[in-house]
Chain A
Amino acid sequence: MNIIVLSVIVLGVIGLFSGLILFFIAQKFKVYEDPKIDEVEAVLPAANCGGCGYAGCRNFAEACVKAENLDSLNCPVGGNKTMQKVAVILGKTVEAKDPQIAVIRCNGTPEFRKRTNIYDGATTCAMESALYGGHTDCQYGCLGHGDCVVVCKFDAIEMDPVTMLPVVNDKCTACGACVKACPKNIIELRPKGKKDRRIFVSCVNKDKGGTAKKSCQVACIGCKACFNVCKYDAITIDNFLAYIDPHKCKLCRACVTVCPTNAIWELNFPPRKIKEESETNKEAAVADENKNKNDETLQ
């Protein structure tokens, strides 16, 4: 009995003593942190994706608390809602930003873009790109090893086994991880657009028209057809490559039909009226069908 009492007392004293030591040390080395950081962190998505440009959500929260205004800070994953909450906590205002989504600017499927050699090495795009131009004659196009799929934390991008091209789905939060991972700079973040409707040039080939066409049948050849038809000055052509400015584009779809190589894509549009189809040539109709098919895969 005596032993039990004694051991309880001894252990109790040791415990109390250690507790005191811990308490004083904790007091002495306490680091002051703004409690607002915790509050801000709590409303963030906690994905730690790095899309905001900071290493993780906590770093972003710290930056928000420190920053004078929130204009240059944005959490692409949480979007406007989250930023609004952050602004409320910090007593600041924040402008609403257009939600964005990643688009793949390459449509060179094996059918249109012939393989000209066999790559036999480590299967990452970064490695293949470091070695040489790629396994097709187009040195700008998708390599198809899916580095973008690996880095995506939201399961928003996956490889289509038939087209060998990545496909972005609705889960995309525009964190930009895939944009950074792609060694060919094919992926671009563009505004989601009204009703998710988007028009963009699905090619980044900067070769001269003839060379581009030879290496890939659906490459942008810089023919200026879209440039001439656009009423809103939304299209620029640089290095034999067209680019559609999403802020100027009014989604009229005029450029889509004139593109001779079907390099301009429209997403999430309703099918064209039959009347319209009869006016355009057959080729465009076929192209349209293809595009709608692609739309389906996208959804």
Chain B
Amino acid sequence: MDNLIISQSPHLHAKDSVKKLMYAVIIALLPSLVLSIYFYGIGAIVVTAFAVISAVAFEWLIVKYLLKKEPSIWDGSAIITGLLLAFNVPSNLPIWIIIIGALVAIGIGKMSFGGLGQNPFNPALVGRVFLLISFPVQMTSWPLPIKSRLINWHFFPSDPKALIDGYTGATSLGIMKEGLKNQEVASSIMEKIPSHMQMFYGEMGGSLGEISALLLILGGLYMIYRKVISWHIPVSTIVTVLLFSGVLWLINPQTNADPLFHLLTGGLMLGAIFMATDYATSPMSNKGKLIFGAGIGILTMLIRVWGAYPEGVSFAILIMNAFVPLINKGFKPKLFGAKKSK
């Protein structure tokens, strides 16, 4: 008989692993990707593929040659970062820009802090915001969804420029912001943009992965079912946005968009379900998660209504990321048997 193994209890281990959790997130993201390919065509595939491949490649290179450790790229976290980065950019983004984005996301956003689990800011959002500030034009010319784009795609179109330029436009949020600035009435602006139903299933202009609230919610439910994330952050973010915009809308429906519009447009669903819930950059306790979500909701609405940018989810999440250590200190889980506060 060989020597017995000795270790401390517990001697059992759940079958969970980092890999499984990460791949569950990837699975949850896939439906949105498929829809985006349906609406935006080959461009969506190209951008996503390059984002993922370059994110993984950069992580491998940095771990291997800068940190001089054994790379473990197949834990899936770099794939998620790449996917989320792609989801946050327009589908017609030039490839060199997306590669720069991946480098910033992995290099600055993740590895400079020590890699997996150490980063204080969501790496994909760091990359995205970097690109948004550096390349505002390319980052804000969104192609419009066309159902037949994939089917009618020509690899060698007679006029490739027309195919891209002809179909781009602003997002619903951009149109709304512009319209309100020009003293237009909210209800009349609504006629220029897709209906709520279209927004819900995803037929609107926007970043590659943020368009379909329906599929994102499905992905979120799958993750909650698999116990990858808890419900706290998405629900508290969404409820806060609903309340905030609801109050504004009740005060003056002429100058404010309705709550549903705020819920379904822009990156709110993607942000609340997939970005804010990123493990390393969200608080540890449930109470903290609720506060964190509420903070994101409030900041998003502040930026959307009064800020310079039409959309504020990325900024809101990054700002709240900075508060996470503070939230962790301030909102601890309730200690069993703690004395009730006097």
Contact = CB atoms under 8 A, between A and B. Distances in A.
Do any CB atoms of chain A lie under 8 A from CB atoms of chain B in the complex? Answer: yes
Interface of A: 115-121, 131-132, 135
B7 interface: yes
B222 to A, nearest CB: 35
Contacts of B8: 121, 131
B3 interface: yes
A132 B5 CA distance: 12
A119 B7 contact: yes
25 contacts: A115-B3, A116-B3, A117-B3, A117-B4, A117-B5, A117-B6, A118-B2, A118-B3, A118-B4, A118-B5, A118-B6, A119-B5, A119-B6, A119-B7, A120-B5, A120-B6, A120-B7, A121-B6, A121-B7, A121-B8, A131-B6, A131-B7, A131-B8, A132-B6, A135-B6
- 6 closest Cβ pairs, A-B complex: A120-B7, A121-B7, A118-B5, A117-B3, A117-B4, A120-B5
Contacts of B2: 118
Nearest to A133: B6
A135 B3 CA distance: 10
Nearest to B9: A131
Contacts of B4: 117-118
A148 B64 CA distance: 29
A121 B8 CA distance: 7
Nearest to A128: B6
Contacts of A121: 6-8
Contacts of B5: 117-120
Interface string B4-44: 11111000000000000000000000000000000000000
Nearest to A121: B7
Contacts of A132: 6
A156 to B, nearest CB: 25
Contacts of B6: 117-121, 131-132, 135
Nearest to A120: B7
A141 to B, nearest CB: 16
Given A121-B8, A131-B8, 18 more contacts: A115-B3, A116-B3, A117-B3, A117-B5, A118-B2, A118-B3, A118-B6, A119-B6, A119-B7, A120-B5, A120-B6, A120-B7, A121-B6, A121-B7, A131-B6, A131-B7, A132-B6, A135-B6
